[in-house]
């Protein structure tokens, strides 16, 4: 069962060296664990059809949509229920086999890459809505259900789940990475919208972070286990069920695309909007290249050559005070839907700007007053390095992404991207910010985590990791160097 | 330095036995640790004036406002900065001395009671606003600053901190208990409003949960250490600084007191209000006894003999649809202020109903649809047991309090209260709820925590506790049986 391993991502290796002065060390240990006996045990748990060691399946489960070098697992198992996940953990724990969960594979920081090989447990078939409590504004879901499918299923109730990352991510994955999206300024991120989790611990024990069946909007009963697992990127356990908060779908919605003369003016408008307590659900910044990419890919025709804000319920007075012009209103549901579809397709629209390349998406987040300077610096760096890129931002949160295209076969091109990304993260850290607002640490930002949280903070995280997962089987090679 | 110990609270003891079938065991070990040498070391750290072993000072630091039997520490030290807290922890860690932090002492579950004696570190003099970042909507504060003082200091900025527990609690204590209050339905609890914490770990190490100086509105960088400490009730470390989210102070506010024929009708109105997406900041339920107590204590004259809702920005149409009558509007700031002052004084107004008694405040929280039945059952129990009590609720959150008066010298009276409180918590747990929405576990609800989260969940909490505080010096005797 030994497979030849893809070498460690040279990009991450470089980034790590720069960030910490250390190398990630030998990537993979042996594969002694995957004997035929173990495979047979998995076949007993899942049925032979749901256990695969074929190269194609392993390849499919070797990476997400990010730029990190794929790392296939040694076996992929397809789970249908919590009991199977628990049995798998128990077996892996006994044998010391690495165990990595896989949802929709739409992450960006290599969270699902099987960095140390072992077992990949695909939970995408655990995609049921288990229980909808409409009058309590909550829903219980399996981890493989995507946020778009959830919203489709509850459309008739007048409720919705507002966390909307770019891709049609699975809700389990969104819990794991502490995802957010365009609505966080009003509705919060996953941290604020998960009420309870069913989690399989490394030894197979099934726990409920808030207690079985509990779904209160708030609690102060002991340690906040829910938010220990939200954002833990599968390194402490595997999420097998989530209880989520729902919200009333907004009834009166107005959307507009508002061009501004400068990035600073656009961000100033956001600060003033927030200060006026306007119930804004989304304020998205799009740079001029993004508008071009959007128009080309999504067949829209926003005639703008300036940085713009996509807003809901915009206060035109404030926008005009900051030099906004040519408001493009979208009052009708169809037009709004087109607008947000175009916004959500920006990753693919950007990729289409330079075919046969890969896209590196940065994810810095800073206090909002620091945003204009940081966006300007990022755009200058991108221009200076001659990179094809778009810049979009959830500016209400101080969070923005540069989507930079590069040819992974071209070392100079690759180095360019990583230089700019690293400089951007460093600048964000210098401005009281974070290197990752919503994508997570994964493989690529482990060095940056140390700079961000400090040695003592990361040491505390390691203490927690070692206490919960003493054998280190859960998604090894992530978060920590 | 040996002091005679107050015996374990017979109330808690009884409650624990009922909940778990176990007794809390011997309460106190010896006092070998407090030699004159150790006291001298504290005097070197704090200066002799700020180290006290006088009975009066120890007595002041032996309890909060809750019903649990006082447990004085052996020495009280008054901290002025993080370095002193760190040095204290280092010393206690070395000697294995219990260390309990004390803020304003306004808690209700005995969180500050020195259950195992040792050192009480009073941080109430660490009460500065350290850094206000108005355009970023955040503020850095020391733990002894109270939420009322903070709001007074930032009044001119147009910003406010919305978490408002009944008492003028310290912000450090509010972090520790995961406090909330009347605005949580719109602005969230402490869990959603703390961005970063400076924490002294048991061995004296100072960490920043989100990294030093970081104050972004969101992050997905590693484990959520911030929310590990929020709600941990001082059992993992001592909070020495907090970075909090601020919000724009609402500009247009309307308040009303709305009487309803029944509790069910009142709660139905709340559900419909939330479903209509009305930007309600507070919806408080007051039962008929509360109105009476309010009028008597706060010299108000709400002429109501029915369950009522206190609402901001109420939708009268919905209220009328549910049988509301006699709206008492408070549009003017003075009248609103009077209304909310009366609301916040309910604890004291209740105590005044039966002088020379103690007040036991329950804190259950359930999914909102379960609320009418639970409130009705609680009121029936209270009536059947002949208890003088008021019922108030943050009904938008599914959270409500009964404030029950009892004479602690009268065993029958005391048993009555605990029977009703235990029955209420049990009912809440049966209805997918929690035994504590915002007060914490402290001493009194340790047995209930096991029922609520389950053995495996509490075991995971213990694993975390043992990993972070291996010597068990941080606020021992709390959370866990």
Complete DSSP assignment for A204-261: S-EEETT-TT---S---SSS-HHHHHTTSTTSS-EEEEEEEE-EEPPSS--EEEEE-S
Q: What is the mean pLDDT of chain B?
A: 86
Lookup result for tokens 């209880």: A243
Residue B292 — very low, low, confident or very high, per pLDDT cuts 50/70/90?
confident
- The answer to whether B426 and B23 are in contact (CB under 8 A) is no
User: How distant is the alpha carbon of residue A40 from its chain centre?
Assistant: 34
* Interacting residues of B132 by C-beta distance below 8 A, sequence separation 6+: B139, B140, B154, B157
Count the Cβ atoms, other than its own, within 10 Å of residue B296: 12
Q: Evaluate if residue B322 carries a pLDDT over 80.
A: no
Q: Which long-range contacts (CB under 8 A, 24 or more apart) does A377-383 make?
A: A377/A424, A377/A427, A378/A402, A378/A420, A378/A424, A378/A427, A379/A263, A379/A287, A381/A420, A381/A423, A381/A424, A382/A420
- Write out chain B residues lying below 8 Å of A180, CB-based: 218, 220
Dihedral over alpha carbons B459, A237, A142, A365 (to 10 degrees): 110
Residue B9 clears pLDDT 50, i.e. is over it? no
Burial code (b: 16+ CB inside 10 Å, e: under 16) for B445-463 equals bbbbbbbbbbeebbebbee
Contact B367, A215 (CB under 8 A): yes
Q: Which residue of B has its CA nearest to A192?
A: B192
Q: Calculate ∠ Cα B427-B310-A245, nearest 5°.
A: 55
Is residue B316's pLDDT more than 60? no
> Which residues face B199 on adjacent strands?
B207, B239
Instruction: At B361, give phi and psi (nearest 5°).
Output: -110, 115
Provide the β-strand partners of residue A140.
Answer: A131, A243
For residues B108 and B133, is the Cβ–Cβ distance under 8 A?
no
Q: Does pLDDT of A106 surpass 50?
A: yes
Count the Cβ atoms, other than its own, within 10 Å of residue B338.
16
CB A90 within 8 A of CB A204: yes
For residues A370 and A356, what is the distance between their CA atoms, to the nearest angstrom? 35
DSSP 8-state symbol, A137: T
How many other CB atoms are there within 10 angstroms of residue A430's CB atom? 12
User: Which of A181, A193, A216 to substitute to test the interface with B, most B CBs within 10 Å?
Assistant: A216
**By percentage, how much of chain A surpasses pLDDT 70?**
85
Contact A64, A113 (CB under 8 A): yes
**Of A183-187, A304-308, A412-416, B53-57, minimum mean pLDDT range:** A304-308
Which pTM value belongs to this model? 0.91
Contact (CB, 8 A) for A425 and A401: no
Rounded to 10°, the helix B263-275/B371-384 angle is 160
Q: How many CB pairs under 8 A join A and B?
A: 286
pLDDT the model gives residue A87:
98
Give yes or no for a contact between B355 and B401, defined as CB atoms under 8 angstroms apart. Answer: no
Q: Quick check: helix, strand or coil at residue A108?
A: coil
Helices marked H in A299-393 — which ranges?
A: 316-321, 333-344, 346-351, 371-384
Could you report the predicted ipTM of this complex, rounded to two decimals?
0.90
pLDDT on residue A323:
66
Place of tokens 């709400």: B302
Q: In terms of pLDDT, which residue wins out, A16 or B445?
A: B445
Residue, of B37 and B259, whose pLDDT is higher? B37
Query: Distance between CA B71 and CA B87 in Å, rounded?
Result: 24
Q: Mutate which of B201, B204, B220, B432 to test chain A, going by most A C-beta atoms within 10 A?
A: B220
**How far is the C-alpha of B232 from the C-alpha of A223, rounded, in Å?**
5
Q: What are phi and psi of A100, to 5 degrees?
A: -125, 130
- The CA–CA distances, whole Å, from A32 to A25, A92, A469 equal 20, 13, 21
B-chain CB neighbours of A275 within 8 Å are 158, 248
**Which residues in chain A are closer than 8 Å to B186, comparing Cβ atoms?**
none
* Whole-number pLDDT of residue B188: 94
Q: Nearest residue on chain B to A273, judged by CA atoms?
A: B248
- The angle, 0 to 180 degrees and rounded to 10, between the axes of the packed helices B10-20 and B411-430 is 40
Measured between beta carbons, which residues in chain A are less than 8 angstroms from residue B434?
210-211, 214, 216, 219-221
pLDDT digits (tens, 9 = 90+) for A218-227: 999 999 999 9
- Nearest neighbour of A227 by CB, restricted to B227, B248, B398: B227
Alpha helices, DSSP H, located in A389-439: 411-430
- What residues of B are in contact with residue A456 (Cβ under 8 Å)? 201, 205-207
Please determine, for residue A5, whether its predicted confidence score (pLDDT) is greater than 50.
Answer: no
Q: How confident is residue A14, by pLDDT bands cut at 50, 70 and 90?
A: very low
For residue B311, what are the β-bridge partners?
B256, B283
Mention every residue, 6+ apart, whose C-beta is less than 8 A from residue A83: none
Which range (B89-98, B112-121, B186-195, B250-259) has the least confidence? Answer: B250-259
Residue B119 to residue B78: CA distance in whole angstroms: 11
The number of beta carbons lying within 10 Å of the beta carbon of residue B142 is: 25
Q: Report the candidate in B1, B20, B2 with the shortest Cα–Cα distance to residue B444.
A: B20
CA atoms of A86 and A75, how far apart (whole Å): 17
Q: Is the pLDDT of residue A204 over 60?
A: yes
B145-165 residue pLDDT tens: 999 999 999 999 999 999 999
- Say how far apart CA B284 and CA B263 lie, in whole Å: 12
Residue B325: CB atoms within 10 Å? 12
- Contact assignment for A434 to B210 by CB distance below 8 Å: yes
SS3 content of chain A, % helix, strand, coil (to 5): 40, 20, 45
Q: What's phi and psi for A101, nearest 5 deg?
A: -90, 150
* Residue pair B453/A208 in contact by the 8 Å Cβ criterion: yes
Residues A348 and A352: their CA atoms lie apart, in Å, by 6
User: Which residue matches tokens 């730029």?
Assistant: A67
8 Å CB contact of A453 and B221:
yes
Taken in order A231, A237, A240, A241, is the CA torsion positive or negative? negative
Give the pLDDT band of residue A252 (cuts 50, 70, 90): low
A204 φψ region: left (φ > 0), alpha (ψ -120 to 50), beta (else): left
Give me the residues paired with residue A78 across strands.
A122
pLDDT band for A305, please (50, 70, 90 cuts).
low
Q: What is the 3-state secondary structure (H, E, C) of A64-89?
A: CCCCCCCCCCCEEEECCCHHHHHHHH
pLDDT at B237: 98
Exposure string for A237-250, b = 16+ CB within 10 A, e = fewer? bbbbbbbbbbbebb
Cβ distance of B220 and A137 shorter than 8 Å: no
**pLDDT over 60 at B15, yes or no:** no
CA–CA gap between residue B397 and residue A216 (Å, rounded) = 8
- How far apart CA B200 and CA B337 sit, in angstroms, is 38
Number of H helices, E strands in chain A: 17, 18
Residue A172 CA to residue A237 CA, distance in Å, equals 12
The C-alpha of A123 sits at a distance from chain B's nearest C-alpha, in angstroms, of: 22
CA-based nearest residue in chain B for residue A138: B367
β-pair type (A358-361, A399-406)? antiparallel
How far is A28 from chain B, CA to nearest CA, in Å? 23
Query: Which of A133, A271, A458 is the closest to B367 by Cβ?
Result: A133
Q: What phi and psi values does residue B181 have, to the nearest 5 degrees?
A: 145, -150
Average pLDDT score over residue span B415-440: 95
| pLDDT-based confidence at residue B314 (cuts at 50, 70, 90) | very low
d(CA A412, CA B193): 44
């Amino acid at each position: 069962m030994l497979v030849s391993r893809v070498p460690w991502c040279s990009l991450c290796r470089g980034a790590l060296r720069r960030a910490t002065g250390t190398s990630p060390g030998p990537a993979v240990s042996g594969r002694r664990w995957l004997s035929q006996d173990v495979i047979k045990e998995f076949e007993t748990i899942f049925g032979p059809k749901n256990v695969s060691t074929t190269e194609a399946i392993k390849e499919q489960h070797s990476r997400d949509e990010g730029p990190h070098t794929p790392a296939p697992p040694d076996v992929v198992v397809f789970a249908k229920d919590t009991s199977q996940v628990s049995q798998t953990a128990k077996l892996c724990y006994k044998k010391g086999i690495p165990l990595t969960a896989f949802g929709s594979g739409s992450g960006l920081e290599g969270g699902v890459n099987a960095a140390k090989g072992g077992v990949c447990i695909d939970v995408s078939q655990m995609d049921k809505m288990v229980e909808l409590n409409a009058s309590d504004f909550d829903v219980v879901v399996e981890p493989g259900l995507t946020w778009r499918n959830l919203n489709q299923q509850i459309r008739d109730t007048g409720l919705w789940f507002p966390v909307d990352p770019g891709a049609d991510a699975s809700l389990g994955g969104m819990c794991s990475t502490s995802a957010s999206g365009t609505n966080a300024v009003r509705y919060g991120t996953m941290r604020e919208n998960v009420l309870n989790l069913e989690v399989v611990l490394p030894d197979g024990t099934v726990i409920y972070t808030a207690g079985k069946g509990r779904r209160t909007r708030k609690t102060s009963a002991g340690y906040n286990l829910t938010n220990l697992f939200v954002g833990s990127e599968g390194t402490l356990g595997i999420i097998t069920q989530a209880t989520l908060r729902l919200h009333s779908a907004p009834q009166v919605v107005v959307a507009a695309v508002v061009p501004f003369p400068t990035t600073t003016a656009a961000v100033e408008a956001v600060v003033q909007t927030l200060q006026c307590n306007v119930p804004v659900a989304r304020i998205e910044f799009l740079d001029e290249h993004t508008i071009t990419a959007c128009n080309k890919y999504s067949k829209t025709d926003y005639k703008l050559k300036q940085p713009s804000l996509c807003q809901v319920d915009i206060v035109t007075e404030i926008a005009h005070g900051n030099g906004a012009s040519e408001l493009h209103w979208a009052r009708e549901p169809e037009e709004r839907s087109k607008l947000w579809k175009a916004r959500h397709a920006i990753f693919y629209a950007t990729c289409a700007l330079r075919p046969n390349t890969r896209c590196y998406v940065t994810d810095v987040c800073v206090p909002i007053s620091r945003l204009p300077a940081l966006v300007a610096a990022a755009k200058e760096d991108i221009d200076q390095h001659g990179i094809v890129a778009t810049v979009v931002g959830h500016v209400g949160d101080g969070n923005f992404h540069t989507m930079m295209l590069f040819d992974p076969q071209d070392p100079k091109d690759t180095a360019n991207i990583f230089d700019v990304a690293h400089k951007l993260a460093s600048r964000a850290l210098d401005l009281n910010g974070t290197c990752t607002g919503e994508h997570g640490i994964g493989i690529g930002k482990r060095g940056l985590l140390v700079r961000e949280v400090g040695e003592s903070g990361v040491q505390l995280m390691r203490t927690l990791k070692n206490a919960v997962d003493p054998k280190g089987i859960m998604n090894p090679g992530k978060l920590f160097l």
